[in-house]
Amino acid sequence: MALTKDERTDAILRIQQFARDERGEDMGDLAAGIQLDFIERELAPLFYNAGVRDAKALAQRFHGTLAEELESLEMRVRPGGKARRAS
């Protein structure tokens, strides 16, 4: 997972702004870039995996609903060969 050049520049500016606002610290591009590298390497995968888990849960709920809908449309064959619609 890689940021575009513009996204990376924006992220560095945000880190610098955070340092100013929260700690009253001026942070250079190098220091902010090193922090961003740490965040990308160590923290981003945690958030990415949480997003994947959320997407998986949503897909499973959708799949369950879809399976129920399809089952309700399925034609059932009764003994004697007569079809009936599932209820």
Domain segments of the chain: what residues? Answer: 5-85
pLDDT for residue 76: 64
pTM exceeds 0.75 for this model: no
Amino acid identity, position 4? T
pLDDT 10s per residue in the chain (87 long)?
Answer: 689 999 999 999 999 999 999 999 999 999 999 999 999 999 999 999 999 999 999 888 888 788 787 777 776 666 666 656 555
Q: Is 71 helix (H, G, I), strand (E, B) or coil?
A: helix
Q: How far is CA 52 from CA 30, 36, 49, 57, 58, in A?
A: 31, 22, 5, 9, 10
pLDDT for residue 87: 54
Q: Directed axis angle between helix 5-23 and helix 29-38, to 10°? A: 100
